[in-house]
Amino acid sequence: MPRSPLSRFFLLAVCCLLAGTAFAAQLTSVDNRGGKGGGAPISVEADRMTLLEKSNSILFTGAVDARQDDVRIRTDKMTVYYTSEEKGKPANDGGDKRKVEKMVCVGNVEITRGDWLGTAKEMTYLAKERQVHLNGDAKAWQGRNMVSGDRIVYYIDEQRSEVVGGGKRVNMTIQ
């Protein structure tokens, strides 16, 4: 049965946001000993990396290029916030494990996976809420199909996305 344009739109919206969630979901288990908690290796290149122990975060700045499998995130600045280590409570395998709580990318955000591309001024991944937010002139393409608005929110567990105009109208083009 052929898909209607409306069902293709929902498929497009879900697929466009999966790239950001796939990378962020892989970051939900950070093993400081290089363990296999996160699946495929994560590679992050940047001009500078700063560990901010007091705020339990790592800041990458300057031409940030993060990759895992076929997911790639490029941005000006990426901050990864993680849970603090619980003193006196060893991890299941006795190692030092922390989990990502939030990931924030600011400036020229570009997320790619396969044939889709998402862009925005900012991207936020919220691990507990299992949401990805593309904010500020958010756009997503799959092939020649495109959806845009001021903000795109993807609810991972519900497999549902919302595109919000933010004072202007939402735009969708299906080829």
* Residue 4 DSSP label: P
Sorted by where each begins, the domain ranges of the chain are 5-85+98-173
* Superfamily name and number for 5-85+98-173: Lipopolysaccharide (LPS) transport protein A like domain (2.60.450.10)
| Mean pLDDT per 10-residue segment, the chain (175 residues) | 41 37 41 47 91 92 91 93 68 61 95 84 92 92 89 85 89 90
Q: How far apart are CA 20 and CA 169, in angstroms?
A: 24
Q: For the purposes of burial, counting CB atoms within 10 Å of the CB of 139, is it exposed (0-12), middle (13-18) or buried (19 or more)? A: middle
Q: How far apart are CA 56 and CA 42, in angstroms?
A: 19
Nearest partner of 135 among 174, 96, 169, 109, judged by Cα: 109
pTM more than 0.75: no
